[in-house]
Structure 1
């Protein structure tokens, strides 16, 4: 699967995986802990591979 086909997660979905508030996920992105993409409407989306790597305590793929 290439990066353009990869599933994108919302802040809420990422927050559920980490059991934190969605605002925490937004702060992580602002601090550079996890890479986010912006939708045309300005919402953050997170690549599933980046989230899974963070869950495993590994660096983001391609970082």
Structure 2
């Protein structure tokens, strides 16, 4: 597994992350403030999220969602 430097890693906007999780972009910002997801600030003060970290979080949430759906 090769680690790419942070500078070359793709970054996602809050809207892109929100679309992946099917939530509101404000929810993604709350996750970042709560420490569930780390964010990078642009020079203009906007949040960006590392694609690899977002995909790891998404992969980790899917089994939990399935388990919750099975219990219903």
Whether TM exceeds 0.5 here: the answer is yes
CA distance in 1, matches of 2:49, 2:12: 5
Whichever of the two has the greater Rg, that structure is 2
CA distance in 2, matches of 1:40, 1:2: 19
- The TM-score, its normalising length taken from structure 2, stands at 0.76
- Aligned-residue Cα RMSD (Å) equals 1.2
CA distance in 2, matches of 1:2, 1:30: 24
Indicate the residue corresponding to 2:29 in structure 1.
Answer: 26
Indicate the residue corresponding to 2:66 in structure 1.
Answer: none
Q: Give unpaired runs (5+ residues) of structure 1.
A: 59-63
Q: Give unpaired runs (5+ residues) of structure 2.
A: 62-72
User: Greater helix share, 1 or 2?
Assistant: 2
CA distance in 2, matches of 1:13, 1:35: 15
Aligned length: 58
SS at 2:8 equivalent: coil
- Runs ≥4 in structure 1, deviation > 2 angstroms? none
Indicate the residue corresponding to 2:8 in structure 1.
Answer: 5
